[in-house]
Chains A and B, each alone.
Chain A
Amino acid sequence: MASHSNDHNHNEKKHGYYTGDIHNQFVEEHHDPKNVSIIWRTFWILLGVTLFEVGIAFTAIPKDILLVIFLVLTIVKAYYIVAFFMHLKNEKISFKYSILLPFFLILYFIVMAIAEGNYLNFIG
C-alpha cells in the first residue's frame, strides 16, 4: 500500500479530490479557463436549436420531414447537455460506454413498441 500514498503526495498540488472508495484514487478536476466560454457556447447552441424548432413548427414543411428534423435536433440538444453540461466528454472512455451502451435497450424497446403497436387496433 506504500505505493498508493506516494501517488497521493505526488498529486497534492493539483486540483481534485479522492474517489473515497477502497482505492481512494486521486481524480483531477478539469480546471480550465476555457470552460466558461464552452458553457456559454453550449447555451447559445441549445437556445438557437430551440428557437429554430419553434420557428419551423408552423411552416409549410411536411409533417413527416418535420418529425425527422425534430428527432435529430432533440438528439443534438441531448448530446450538448450530456457532453458539456454533465461533462461526460471528460470522463474515461470505459465510463462513457457503461453509461451510454444500456440505451441500446431503449432502441430495442422502441422497435418492439412500433412492431406491437400496430396490433393494438385489433384488440380494441
Chain B
Amino acid sequence: MSAEAAVASTSNKSWGGGKSPYNVSWGKMYMWFFLVSDAFTFSSLILAYGVMRHRFSEIWPSANDVFTHFPFVEGHVPLAYVGLMTFILIMSSVTMVLAVDAGHRRDKKAVGTWMLLTIIGGFMFLGSQAWEWYHFIHGTEQGAYIHQDGTVGRPKVDHHTNAVDMNTLVLPGKKEISGSEAEAFKAKSEHFHGANLTKNEYGHPLFGDFFFFITGFHGFHVFSGVVINIIIYINVLNGVYARRGHYEQVEKTGLYWHFVDLVWVFVFTFFYLV
C-alpha cells in the first residue's frame, strides 16, 4: 500500500521516475540529438573556414566576384542565384511542415501531396547546386594567370560593359599591373580557368577547398534527405502510417529536412553574404 502511494506521488513530477520526462517519442529524441551532433560538425567546418579566411584575408576572394551568374542573364549578377536557391529551400521547408501538419489531421492525401512537393523542391535545389558547381569548376572565359609563387593575376573586367582587358592584371589587394610588368608576370604563370582542389582562378585555393567540402557536405545532406523523403512518401501512399494511426514518422523526417534548411541559412551567410 505504501509502495503504491510512493509511485503515485512521484509520477506527478517529470524527473521523479516512472515516466518519460521529455514527453517525446524515443525516435524523435534520437533525431534531435543526432541533429545536435550534426550541427556541431557543420559548426566546426564553418569555423575552420572562418579561421582560414581570417588568416588569408588579404588574398581571399570575395564571393560576389565568384558567383556572379544567373541562368539566361548576361553579365554580373552576384547573390541573385544563391538567393533563388535559398528561396527554393525555404519553400520546400514550408511544404514539409505543411505535410507534418496534414499528418496531425490524419489527412493521408494532403500528406502525400506536400511530401511530393518537398521532394521536387529538394531536386530543384540539388540541380541548382550542380549548376553552381559547374560554373565554379569551369570558371570564366578569360580565366586567370596563376604565378609560380601562387599569386593570382586576374584580367581586368569592366563591370558595366563586361569588357575584358587581357593586358591588365589585377593582383591581390586590387593592385593593377600592365604592359611589360604584366608580360613578365604571365611568362612565369599558368593560364587557368575555374577551380579545382589545388588551383583557383579567383584567389586562394583554400577558398575552393572549403566551398567544395562544405557545400558538398550540405548537398550530400540534401540528397540523403530527398532519398529519405521518397521512402517516407512511398510509405504514406501505401497507407503504412494510416494503419499505424499516426504520422510521427513524417515529423521525424521533417526535423531532418528543416535542419538541412537551417544549415543552408548559415552557409548562405558565411559563404555568400559576408
Contact = CB atoms under 8 A, between A and B. Distances in A.
Given A94-B22, A102-B36, A50 B11 contact: no
Contacts of A85: 93, 96-97, 254, 258, 261
B94 A94 contact: no
Contacts of A35: 101, 104
A4 B126 CA distance: 47
Interface residues of A, number: 59
A27 B51 contact: no
B11 to A, nearest CB: 7
Contacts of A53: 269, 273
Nearest to A35: B101
Interface stretch (B24-32, B173-181, B188-196, B231-239): B24-32
Contacts of A109: 43-44, 47
B19 A39 contact: no
Contact of A117 (B19, B51, B96, B273): B51
B51 A120 contact: yes
Contacts of A71: 269, 274
Contact of B25 (A19, A31, A84, A98): A19
Nearest to A31: B104
Given A39-B94, A86-B255, A113-B47, A78 B27 contact: no
B43 A106 contact: yes
Nearest to A84: B97
B79 interface: yes
B51 A81 contact: no
A3 B19 contact: no
A117 B164 CA distance: 37
Interface of A: 3, 15-21, 23, 25, 27, 29-31, 35-36, 39-40, 42-43, 46-47, 50-51, 53-54, 57-58, 66-67, 70-71, 73-74, 77-78, 81-82, 84-87, 91-92, 94-95, 98-99, 102-103, 105-106, 109-110, 113, 116-117, 120-121
Given A102-B40, A120-B54, 20 more contacts: A19-B24, A20-B26, A39-B97, A43-B90, A50-B83, A54-B79, A54-B83, A57-B64, A66-B274, A70-B274, A71-B269, A73-B269, A81-B93, A81-B261, A81-B265, A86-B259, A87-B100, A94-B14, A95-B23, A106-B40
